[in-house]
A and B are shown apart, each in its own frame.
Chain A
Amino acid sequence: MMALLAALAATAVFLALLVSLFLYLVVQKWRENRRQAQLCALKERYHLPLLRYLLGEEEQLPLPSSPLEREAMMELLDHFASLLKGEQVQERIRTLAEMHFQGWLRRRLSSRHWSERMNALFLIEDLQVKAMLPEMERLYRSDRVTRGEEAKLLAIFAQFDYSPVVAYVLEPKYELTEFTYRVIFGHMSERLLRQVEQRFDELPRAGKCAFIDMIGIRRRGERSFLLELLTSDELELRVRALKAMAEIGMPLEAARLERHLCSPHWQERLMAARLAGKCREERLLPLLYERLGDRSFVVRSEAAAAIARLPGGRAVLRTAARTAADRYARDMAKQWLQGEG
């Protein structure tokens, strides 16, 4: 009997707990929905005045008075920043953010919640609020900074042309991925890139790879630097250097190219063939001709493409299609000639 009573009591307590938890969740959801609805209404009220202010058609702007209004304004400003370009508009967005939202951003940056800090960083980036640099520096040095924040912070530092970023990418707190490095280097000014280049050896491997890629993407004529990399012991660095040179169309003398064309690694042969296609040197024809019979399909294909680009190359391909000793080479030459109509 007692046991039954105890079980009943336990069940009642458990049920009460469940019901109260359910009610709590319902109320929370209702409050969140209401907040979102208010935000939407506020945004609707603000969007035209803000647009006209940003376009310089109006000089007056009703300023936000409550935290919710401020949030609505901030979200709108961020949205506008992604839709409008042009000197004056960007300038107006930045000054507005710096004048009225610094305190708000600062509070967000020092929040306990990761998501709030991260959102604040995105806003700072979108609105180019350079005045927040000291706060971001503080966040970067704090112990609670996470991997994601670090990547974002460094990318923003690079955009704001903030010199200490060079030291940070050489010794990041967490290991950065190649993609992150690429984003950071993509934003860096020439000045900062040169500083990184001087200390290239100190970069982690992912950083080195991304840095070399960036030379190609941004077409920086770093000839001597790339040539030095071609002598590296690391296959990956040699391949990327060749790729960057091909991207820029940086000529390389036949004797040096030959070494890479005969490499035991197909990746290196592939990129060397691609570079040869950009060099337009007739002396390369016999070397490339040999590669038409390469073990790897992609190298054969790239070699055929390179030959087609060289002066007199199409004639060579036509000959190869008829008379090459290697069947694969004949096939590739034929394929290439067909593809070009």
Chain B
Amino acid sequence: MDRSVASLLDRIYEQYERWRAGPPLAGAELAQFFNAVGRTAAVIGRSDITAEVERLIHRLNGQTERQWTAEEVLMEMVPLLRCFYEAGKAASSTIPFSHRQGPRATILLCGNDPLFFAYVCGALQPLPWRFMTIPSFEQAASSMFRISPDCMIVSVKEEEWENPDLMVLLERAGQRPYLPVVIVSKDERKEGRLKGYELGADDVIACPAADELFVRVRRLVEKKRKIDDLVLIDELTGVYNRKYLPQVYVRLRSELERSGTPSCLALLDLDHFKQINDRFGHLAGDAVLRKLAAFLRQHTRGGDTVIRFGGEEFIVWLARTSRSEARAVLERLRRQFAAETIDADGERLSCTFSAGLVEFRDPDQPLDYWLRVADRALYAAKRGGGNRIEEAACEEGECLDEDVRPTQTDQQRWSVAIVDDDELVRVMIADLVRKLAAEQEREAEIYEFDDGLSFLESPLYESGRRSVVILDRVMPRMDGLEVLHRLRRERKPCKVMMLTSRQDERDIAHALEQGADEYVTKPFKWLELEARLCRLLKELDA
């Protein structure tokens, strides 16, 4: 970007900051500023910017009477920003179709560069990428682990290289297994680039166009996947090795804690494997192991995990699956695998497996405990002659009462608690839940509470049913954060949406750290509220 264009962009940035600090603006006022931008662009010979500015002014003036907030103006500015960042090559502004495929990824954008980030999000919209923006380095450093992104793009200004918060952020990024970091900076000096690499960035780019940024980031995301895989893959079979098991456990445990979603762990063992090895040799044995691994991978879902636990034992961990479902899945796998023929070193053989199955539903028990229980069930299956599935017997204290276990009808019914001292808010949200339930052909049970304490003392809270809790941040007697803290401490299987009346980033980040799943600010943007609530309700079904 040449100097005159860059300084014009700086002018827009300064103006945007001013708009952000002030009240909403009328179109005429905005048009005045953009007109000046258009004139300057004409002087420096960038007619494409001038043309885009005219289109923008036309859009702004098309809605007289409307007051624009800074964020709304920013969304409108995306095509204009493209002209700036793509150096007049407007044709390249859309990513060629062949490039649109990329792995699904969560990209964390951090730094105070709203214009560039708006441009990136706008230009890369067609991709299956989820962007999250956190303006402050400090905030990003503390929320990074919660978001667990696949790549982090940090925008660094010339004067920010020495910023201690930036160093902390990059240091933390380096502590994870591997998180690729791309630094984007307008600072084109060599010192800046070197500094960026020194701080641990994988890539330092001076203000790239979106297509270039996309290719570089995609490469890093793919690399991250590879590195993550390399370390944890069993060489022989290509499925995860047992090193990966604790990670799966932690992930599913947090899912269990946060939303009460149970999962099922199955420990599989090939029947009579020793005889195959003895009769046909180790190569044949290896082929059988590879076959079973490939078969399991092929016939399980994306969220499930297949692990070679050692020797001829495998673990299949079925996420978001109840006992009865898991049983059905494993029975099907067992039947199908028994019917498979295996080409093993010139021999054609068939083989069967047995499995012990346990439902993982108590987050307080360590991984070893579940492995022991599953192993006991597997032993029972072997004793029963092999080629069968056994469920772990309920032991004292580890089994829920039959009547507490959610029944089929519970699954069809959403339970929603609205905790807010403002009656009108309760009315509005209850109405919205009913509407969403009607659209999804569901029944909704709605409970209203006017303060946190009465919610905590309610039978709904005691029963520990899976529900969506909509929590006001500020309430008399007990505020929302305190309620949230209790919910999480007692590991209630609730999805929580916080209603905050302050657009305070710190406040929101704090709520997220405490374990809120969503937050919405008052006054509500209705459609946004609807979308977020809908997402949470659907997660109840998962």
Contacts and interface: CB of A to CB of B under 8 A. Distances in A.
B507 interface: no
B209 to A, nearest CB: 29
B431 A48 contact: yes
B396 interface: no
A189 interface: yes
A340 interface: yes
A84 B425 CA distance: 10
A219 B427 CA distance: 40
B526 interface: yes
B427 A51 contact: yes
Contacts of A189: 25-26, 29
Contact of B523 (A82, A159, A191): A82
Given A83-B523, A84-B524, A190 B29 contact: yes
A24 B522 CA distance: 44
A221 interface: yes
Interface in A304-341: 311, 314, 340-341
A47 B526 contact: no
Given A221-B14, A311-B162, A83 B424 contact: yes
Given A187-B23, A219-B21, A340 B526 contact: no
Contact of B431 (A51, A159, A311): A51
Contact of B159 (A84, A87, A280, A340): A280
B424 A79 contact: yes
B525 to A, nearest CB: 5
Interface in A30-79: 47-48, 51, 55, 76, 79
Interface string A108-128: 000000000000000000000
A308 B159 CA distance: 13
A88 to B, nearest CB: 9
B523 A85 contact: yes
Contacts of B25: 189
A186 B14 contact: no
Nearest to A310: B162
A80 B424 contact: yes
Interface in B154-193: 159, 162, 164
B427 A48 contact: yes
Contacts of A314: 162
Interface in B488-542: 522-527
Contacts of A91: 65
A91 B525 CA distance: 14
A251 B237 CA distance: 64
B96 interface: no
A89 interface: yes
Contact of B526 (A86, A186, A191, A341): A86
A317 to B, nearest CB: 13
Interface of B: 14, 17-18, 21-23, 25-26, 29, 65-66, 159, 162, 164, 422, 424-425, 427-428, 431, 522-527
Given A83-B524, A85-B525, 18 more contacts: A48-B427, A48-B431, A76-B424, A83-B424, A84-B523, A84-B524, A91-B65, A159-B23, A161-B26, A186-B22, A189-B25, A189-B26, A189-B29, A190-B29, A219-B17, A280-B159, A314-B162, A340-B164
